[in-house]
Structure formats: C-alpha cells, structure tokens
Amino acid sequence: MAGTTRTDIEMNRSFGVGAAALLATLMLGSGCSKRVESESQTSSVAGSVADYYPLAVGNSWTYRLNGREDKLVTVEILKQEEGFFHDNQGGQLAVDAYGLRDPKRYLLRGPLETGHSWTNVVSVSSTERYRIVQAGSACDTPAGTFPSCVQVEGRNRVDARDTLVNAWTFAPGVGMVRMEIFLETANQRRILQTQLELTAYQVGGSRAPGASTPPAG
C-alpha cells in the first residue's frame, strides 16, 4: 500500500463522519475487500434521510479499523448544541429539510435513489462531488447483515492525477455501518487507505453488543 501523505490526512479529516477526525491519528493497516452485496435491483429505498442516521444523545457506534479487532473506534453522541449533535470524536451532524450534514457539507441527500448526486463547495479551492451509487443493497458487517442500505461516494481531487474517494454505507434505523477511504489514481485504480466496519451499536434503546446479535429491523 502506498504511504499516507499529509495531503491524505487533511482530506481524511475533511470528510469527517464522527470517527473520521480520529483516523489520521491511528495506524493504517492493510486494506480489506468490500463486502457489499446487492439484494435486488432496487434503485430506491423508502423512508427519509433521518432514518439512515439516527441522531440522539446517547447513541453510539463501535467500528473496527482495517479489519483489526484490536483497533476499535467508538463514536458516541454527547450533546446537542446550536442545531448540531456533537460526538466524542469531534464530529458534528444534523438532519435538516435537505439531508444529513456536518457544518460544511451534505453527506446524504434525498431522494434516496441510485444515481442521485449533489455537490458541496467547502472552500474556494475545494469542491466535493457526491453520488448515491447503490440504494436498496445489503451490507455485511461484523455487527450483522443490514438490508435496504444506501451507499454514497464522495470525491475530491487531491492533485492533477489522484482523487480521494470516501464511500459510506448507511443502514436504516442504525446509521453508518461501513466507511472506506480510497486513493484513486489517474488510471482509475483504487488503493484502500482506511476501512471502518460496524461491530456494535446502541441507537434509541436498540443495542447490538456484537456480531453474534443480529441488527434490529
């Protein structure tokens, strides 16, 4: 795997969903292959954006980093302030009439259907392009298999040759169940930089303590 540069670290931080702000301080291990399998040819899903990232004080999610059981990251919502829910990793998220957002960008916007895209201009020199690459698929994680997921990709150019690609998978009633960060080269080869997979969660009183317990819903 290619070494992580300062540019990679800054880009990783820029996309932050909760634990993303922490990733730059953790050792990047070897990449694991993505295990998202399509349940059907469904191109859209029912429900609202809010269903795909439940925000409430006390909700928490634990992820393993790069397939390593000894590298766990727990994201817990600690408070709500000025319209945003703040977590223990420095993340800030809110859901409004347009979608799920942090202070700079929309991470998920409706309609929740394959191919839907949007753009976030986060600074005068940085434009991020987002697209729902799959709606209605199943995602297999250590916490269980989640149906009717929405997978989103965010893209931002690093330089003339390379693009940083963030891929998130959201499950209804649960939140983010997987995140992968790739460096895409000029020949469209993707090099996995970081992967987070859900191992346990507690959302609104629903708890999944580990892989042996199937997810609610």
The confidence score (pLDDT) of residue 205 equals 62
The confidence score (pLDDT) of residue 202 equals 96
The confidence score (pLDDT) of residue 41 equals 52
Cα–Cα distance, 142 to 178 (Å, whole number): 10
pLDDT > 90 in the chain, percent: 64
Q: Higher model confidence: residue 21 or residue 143?
A: 143
Q: For the chain, how long is the longest CA-to-CA vector? A: 47
Which run of H or of E encompasses 12? helix 6-15
pLDDT > 70 in the chain, percent: 75
The predicted-structure confidence for 63-99, as pLDDT tens digits, reads as follows 999 999 999 999 999 999 999 999 999 999 999 999 9
The confidence score (pLDDT) of residue 37 equals 42
Q: Single out the residue of 191, 192, 110, 200 nearest to residue 152, CA to CA.
A: 110
| Beta carbons of 193 and 4 less than 8 angstroms apart | yes
The confidence score (pLDDT) of residue 216 equals 34
Q: Single out the residue of 51, 36, 47 nearest to residue 133, CA to CA.
A: 36
| Beta carbons of 36 and 178 less than 8 angstroms apart | yes
Provide DSSP, 95-142: E-SSEEE-SS-EEEESS-BTT-EEEEEEETTEEEEEEEEEEEEEEEET
What is the value of pTM for the model shown? Answer: 0.78
The confidence score (pLDDT) of residue 211 equals 32
Whole-number average pLDDT of the chain:
81
The predicted-structure confidence for 170-208, as pLDDT tens digits, reads as follows 999 999 999 999 999 988 899 999 999 999 999 986 555
The predicted-structure confidence for 116-128, as pLDDT tens digits, reads as follows 999 999 888 888 9
The confidence score (pLDDT) of residue 16 equals 45
The confidence score (pLDDT) of residue 124 equals 82
Cα–Cα distance, 209 to 61 (Å, whole number): 10
Whole-Å CA distances, 62 to 70, 93, 146, 175: 12, 17, 16, 11
Mean pLDDT across 206-213: 45
Structure tokens at 138: 């199943």
Q: Higher model confidence: residue 71 or residue 13?
A: 71
Structure tokens at 210: 């580990």
